[in-house]
Amino acid sequence: MLSVRGLAKRYGAVQALAGVDLDVRPGEVLAICGDNGAGKSTLIKIVSGAETASDGEMRLRGEAVRFASPHDALRRGLATIYQDLALAPRLAIYQNVFMGAELTRGVGPLRVLDKPAMIEQARGYLAQLGSSVTDTTRAVATLSGGQRQSVAIARALRWNADIVVMDEPTAALGVKETAQVLDLIRALNAAGKTVVLISHNMADVVAVAHRVAILKQGRKVIDRPVAGLDADTLSHMVMAGREVA
């Protein structure tokens, strides 16, 4: 689905990424782990078009790509959900879902926003994700953290993204909301989407990911299936930067 080769990024004297090769396979949930400063966010920013690489190449569905912006990546079917979610809290759920790609009806000068269609379709995306929210005219500010994640994911569905990248989606959430977001990820994956999940929470990784890549000081040190690993072993691998017994 997505592959990067020799991806490098230097910020002045800091080598944030030092030549990373990574393949994301269609339909999988891939977790990217690593200590603070390992290069996870840098990798994701380059993949999503928010930053440009100093070196290396990237292919999406086999085709060489270089995204000019996150919007460019979104148009090509790669959606990134940042930790701050980039939602407009005072606007309604449906307005957030359709932001930048509103539905209209009518022709020429008579063209108007198709509010009923957007309200209804936004409801459909949330239902597809198993979200408990049904009234999409509610302001995002009135939603819980987990429900806000569902709005951000619904936005990715609206763009028909087939690969969804999430940077620490459960970092600010409580136990119940974290469980909701893990369910969202499962629903997204069951709908055929490929998911890349950056996480510091090894229990989350073990719960939803098929494969894990571990970064250390800008290099990929582990890339393996999650099956057979528990959260403790995975934590040790992140700390050691190598396989542990």
Interface ranges with Mg ion (CB under 5 A): 41
Q: Toward ligand ATP, which CB reaches closer, 118 or 214? A: 214
Find the shortest distance in angstroms from Cβ 45 to ligand ATP: 8
Number of H helices, E strands in the chain: 8, 12
User: Residue 65, SS3?
Assistant: coil
Contact 34, 242 (CB under 8 A): no
Tell which residue, 70, 112, 115, has the closest CA to residue 93: 115
Min. distance of Cβ 239 from Mg ion in angstroms?
Answer: 17
With respect to ligand ATP, which residue has the nearer C-beta, 34 or 146? 34
Name the token pair of 137: 């005219």
Residue recorded with tokens 């957007």? 118
- The partner in contact with residue 42, picked from ligand ATP, Mg ion, none with C-beta cut-offs of 5 to 8 angstroms by kind, is ligand ATP
By CB under 6 A, name the binding residues for ligand ATP: 11, 14, 16, 34, 36-42
* Smallest distance, Mg ion to C-beta of residue 27, A: 25
Q: Which is nearer to Mg ion, 43 or 161 (CB)?
A: 43
The closest alpha carbon to 217, from 40, 12, 2, belongs to 40
Query: Using CA atoms, how far apart are residues 35 and 199, in angstroms rounded to an integer?
Result: 10
Q: Is the Cβ of residue 44 or residue 87 nearer to Mg ion in the bound state? A: 44
132 binds, among ligand ATP, Mg ion, none (CB under 5 to 8 A by kind): none
Q: Which residues contact 117 (CB under 8 A, 6 or more apart)?
A: 103, 105
Partner from ligand ATP, Mg ion, none contacting 16, C-beta within 5 to 8 A by type: ligand ATP
Minimum Å gap between C-beta 78 and Mg ion is 18
Rounded to whole angstroms, the Cα distance separating 214 from 131 reads: 31
Q: Which residue lies nearer to ligand ATP by CB, 27 or 37?
A: 37
Between 41 and 131, name the residue whose CB sits nearer to ligand ATP.
41
R_g over Cα of the chain = 19
Q: Which of ligand ATP, Mg ion, none does residue 136 bind (CB under 5 to 8 Å by kind)?
A: none
User: Which DSSP string corresponds to 102-133?
Assistant: --EES-GGG-EE-HHHHHHHHHHHHHHTT-S-
Beta-bridged to residue 178, according to DSSP, are: none
Query: Which single residue brings its beta carbon nearest to Mg ion?
Result: 41
Least separation, in Å, of the C-beta of 92 and ligand ATP?
31
With CB under 5 to 8 Å by kind, the binding choice for 127 among Mg ion, ligand ATP, none is none
How far apart are CB 51 and ligand ATP at their closest, in Å?
A: 8
